[in-house]
Homo-oligomer: A and B are copies of this chain.
C-alpha cells in the first residue's frame, strides 16, 4: 500500500487535472490503465494513486518517484508518450506540481 513518509525523501508529483464532469470517469480509467500498463514498471516509480473530486471536475494523480531524474526519464520514454497525449486530449487544464513531504501526522 502507498504510504506517506517524510523520512523517505521521495519526489511527490501532485497533478491536478481539470476535466469536464461527463469525462471524469474516462480520465480516471485512462490514468489507472496507463499506470498498470506502463508507469508502474518504470525504474524509479514508487506509487500512483488516482483521486476523483466529489464534484467530478478534477482528477488528481498523487504519484511518488524515487527522484526527479527518474520522473524525467519516464517523460522521455517513448512508451509513456501515449499517456501524455491522452492527458492533453482530455484535460481542460493540468497542473503537475513537484513536491517534497515535509510532515505527516496521524490522529492522536
Contact = CB atoms under 8 A, between A and B. Distances in A.
Given A35-B105, A108-B40, A97 B16 contact: yes
Nearest to A7: B1
Interface majority SS (helix, strand, loop, mixed), chain A: strand
A12 B54 CA distance: 10
Interface string A38-64: 001100011111111111001010100
- This chain's copy number in the assembly: 2
B49 A103 contact: yes
B49 A104 contact: yes
Interface of A: 1-6, 12, 14, 16, 28, 31-32, 35-36, 40-41, 45-55, 58, 60, 62, 97-108
